[in-house]
Amino acid sequence: MSAPFTIAIDGPAAAGKGTISKAVAAHFQMAHLDTGLLYRAVGAKVLQGADAVAAARSLVPSDLEDDTLRGQDVAQAASQVAVIGEVRAALLEFQRSFARRAGGAVLDGRDIGTVICPGAEAKLFVTASAEVRAKRRYDELVQRGQTADLDEVTADVKARDARDMARSEAPLKPADDAVLIDTSNQTIDEAVAAAIAAVNAKKG
């Protein structure tokens, strides 16, 4: 079995990092973890009345399979619990263990390249303008049959960016050695191709 090779993919909400990460994982035949789902799962439990830290400590893989985790209310709750240091600490080992599995792994989130896996062999930072990301999130919500207002979604995206970038614990920012991929004017295929090329460059 091949040695561990960690690909860390960070970026703000709706930049396309989830889509890119899944495609990169499939291309290189690696395991994939959407670390944002960990925080969404904790957020969902908090919305149901649970304590955030207790929810994080008791999280199990099956909690990540809940279809309601993609809702806007859960996204907001996830962003709020993500600023709690004890929650982040509780989820840290889960992520690091996943990252170093044999055969390699792709992790996407907000602080993979800076905090979770600073030694990752390949680091990407996927971004796009707030307006482009808000329109994507709005289209996604409408497609799911949820009621949405573009202005409200845009405000939510900007508020989440501000919260993620300003938090004292693991703020959202590119790692110094991350390859920046701006998907504002890229198709999915173009963004995926750029990501695969960046990883191949690191693989040598």
Q: What percent of the chain has pLDDT over 90?
A: 75
Q: Is 14 left (phi over 0), alpha (psi -120 to 50) or beta?
A: left
108: phi then psi, degrees, rounded to nearest 5: -120, 145
pLDDT band at 170 (very low <50, low <70, confident <90, very high): confident
Q: Which of 202, 200, 181 is nearest to 191 (CA)?
A: 181
Sheet of 105-109, strand order? 31-34, 105-109, 6-10, 122-127, 179-182
What's the predicted TM-score (pTM) here? 0.85
Q: Is 15 annotated as a binding residue?
A: yes
Q: Is 54 annotated as a binding residue?
A: no
Please give the average per-residue pLDDT across 14-24, as a whole number.
96
2 pLDDT more than 80: no
Please give the average per-residue pLDDT across 71-98, as a whole number.
90
Q: What is the pLDDT of residue 49?
A: 97
Residue given tokens 């750029």 in the structure block: 194
Q: Is 19 annotated as a binding residue?
A: yes
How far is CA 203 from its chain centroid?
A: 23
How far apart CA 7 and CA 54 sit, in angstroms, is: 29
How far apart CA 140 and CA 145 sit, in angstroms, is: 9
91 pLDDT more than 60: yes
Q: Is 105 annotated as a binding residue?
A: no
Q: Is 44 annotated as a binding residue?
A: no
Q: What does 128-195 look like in DSSP terms, one character per residue?
A: --HHHHHHHHHHHHHHTT----HHHHHHHHHHHHHHHHH-SSS-S---TTPEEEE-TT--HHHHHHHH
Q: What is the pLDDT of residue 164?
A: 87
Q: Is 173 annotated as a binding residue?
A: no
149 pLDDT more than 90: yes
Calculate helix-pair angle for 130-143, 150-166, nearest 10 degrees. 120
Domain boundaries, the chain: 6-203
How far apart CA 175 and CA 115 sit, in angstroms, is: 9
1 pLDDT more than 60: no
165-189: buried (b, 16+ CB within 10 Å) or exposed (e) per residue?
eebeebebebbeebbebbbeebeee
pLDDT band at 93 (very low <50, low <70, confident <90, very high): confident
Structure tokens, 57: 């400590």
**Residue of 88 and 20 predicted with greater confidence:** 20
Q: Is 22 annotated as a binding residue?
A: no
Instruction: Choose the CATH number for 6-203 among 3.30.930.10, 1.20.140.160, 3.40.50.300, 1.10.8.80.
Output: 3.40.50.300
β-pairing, 105-109 with 6-10?
Answer: parallel
